[in-house]
Amino acid sequence: MPKLLKTQVAIIGAGPSGLLLGQLLAKHGIENIVVERQSKEYVLSRIRAGVLEQGTVGLLDEAGVGERLHREGLIHHGFDIAFHDHHLHLHLEQLTQGKYVTVYGQTEVTKDLSDARQASHLDTFYEASHVQVSELLTKKPLVQFEQDHQAYQIEADYIAGCDGYHGVCRASIPRESIEEFERVYPFGWLGILSDTPPVQEELLYGNHPNGFYLCSMRSHTRSRYYLQCSVDEDIANWPDERFWDQLQSRLPSSISANLVRGPSIEKSIAPLRSFVAEPLRYGQMFLAGDAGHIVPPTGAKGLNLAASDIYYLSNALIDFYRQSNPKGLESYSRTALQRIWKAERFSWWLTNMLHQFPEKSGFDQRIAQAEFDYLCQSELAQKALAENYVGLPY
């Protein structure tokens, strides 16, 4: 017999979307249960995003988890783009009237949220198997799962599908009730993390004839680097020395001498895709974060979009429970999608300018070069890039 549980909002997924939603709802006295397929250790070991918009930081503050972020996060007032050997500095503060980004790993964001959830004794089921959502068009949607050979059934008012791109929530929506838009890129990012000082103080995105590269960081002593690689690349072919040699050869000559090599403490390949599902609601279930959309990481928008979805969804649920006002829930999908598509456009555009496309003609390469030249010469073009990079308003 399944154990029967009741809650107001059942949240599927304990990534940043699910945990942030749970925390914001709990602050307003709204009951929620989180169900996660993986173990807590696995979730907390994933290395992903690194750049937070001010809106994301504000939400984390509101959720009560901003203390360590403000202590350890690095404020970045700008970043660089290199195109072959040409170099452009984007001064975010000047271009956006005072805005900036914070470099603080998604791993740390997830840890802070997870610690706060544990401290508040909120129900969280890790290592849940056979997770299913059903009765979505009724007033009492259900979540069923197993944990430690015990079956559970949660009866909720709403389900929040925060279970990422490969989750069960979007997959449970009948095909005729959802439309999907997708672009898959013919390359991936090979990333390494190493306990070495970053090659420079701010981030550097570069396009080199051998492919894209990104120099990022987690702290003054921990670097995160990425190289464009082919989608079917075998990571076994990338011993550390090959990675460092390749990165060094792609860096502008003025910078490459500063590269400090060291053993990698993590190495992984991520495919790149643009994807949006519409609408982000099916009956009593809402999709948020990567469950509803994916951007290539070039614009650092994935985690930040997840946060803006949660901003709209948490406020909609709070209005519903506190003031019986369903308007936010009714408009959630439309409102969130407007911001999502703008971030999709930006990430697609930056990806196109900064990567080598194997199938692209000489014409396309000249266009990418012209895009970069225009950016170097036009303050208006730089302002548009900076405005998107620091995050469009909610």
Residue 315 CB, nearest distance to ligand PHB (Å)? 27
Considering only 238-246, 270-278, 280-288, 297-305, which stretch makes contact with ligand PHB by CB under 6 A? Answer: 297-305
Q: Examine residue 164 and tell whether it contacts ligand RFL (CB under 6 A).
A: yes
The pattern of x and - marking residues 253 through 292 that bind ligand PHB according to CB under 6 A reads ----------------------------------------
| Choice between 156 and 354, CB closer to ligand PHB | 354
Q: Examine residue 298 and tell whether it contacts ligand PHB (CB under 6 A).
A: yes
Q: Which of 297, 304, 312, 390 is in the footprint of ligand PHB by CB under 6 A?
A: 297
Sign of CA dihedral 225, 228, 231, 235: negative
Residue 162 CB, nearest distance to ligand PHB (Å)? 21
User: Other C-beta atoms within 10 Å of 311: how many?
Assistant: 23
- Those residues whose C-beta lies under 8 Å from the C-beta of residue 377, and which sit 6 or more positions away, are none
Q: State the DSSP code for 91.
A: E
Say which of 205, 282, 312, 332 is annotated catalytic: 205
Q: Which of 51, 57, 113, 385 is in the footprint of ligand PHB by CB under 6 A?
A: 51
Chain-centre distance of CA 98, in angstroms?
A: 24
Asked if residue 283 lies in contact with residue 62, where contact means CB atoms within 8 angstroms, the answer is: no
| Choice between 51 and 317, CB closer to ligand PHB | 51
User: What's the rounded Cα separation, in Å, for the pair 260 and 262?
Assistant: 7
Considering only 29-37, 49-57, 58-66, 89-97, which stretch makes contact with ligand PHB by CB under 6 A? Answer: 49-57
Angle in degrees, 0-180, between the axes of helices 302-323 and 327-354, rounded to the nearest 10: 180
Q: Is 152 a catalytic residue?
A: no
Sign of CA dihedral 17, 46, 125, 155: positive
Whether the bond between 279 and the residue before it is cis, its omega within 30 degrees of 0, is yes
Considering only 201-209, 294-302, 319-327, 359-367, which stretch makes contact with ligand RFL by CB under 6 A? Answer: 294-302
Question: Token pair 């849940």 is at which residue?
Answer: 128
Q: Are strands 51-52 and 101-103 parallel, antiparallel or unpaired?
A: antiparallel
Q: Examine residue 301 and tell whether it contacts ligand RFL (CB under 6 A).
A: yes
Tell me what percent of the chain is helix, strand and coil, each rounded to the nearest 5. Answer: 40, 30, 30
Residues found near ligand RFL in the complex (CB under 6 A): 12-18, 35-38, 43, 48-51, 106, 128, 131, 162-164, 166-168, 189, 191, 270, 289-290, 297, 300-304, 306
Interface residues toward ligand PHB, by CB under 6 A: 49-51, 203, 214, 216, 224, 297-298, 300
Active site residues: 76, 205, 297, 301, 389
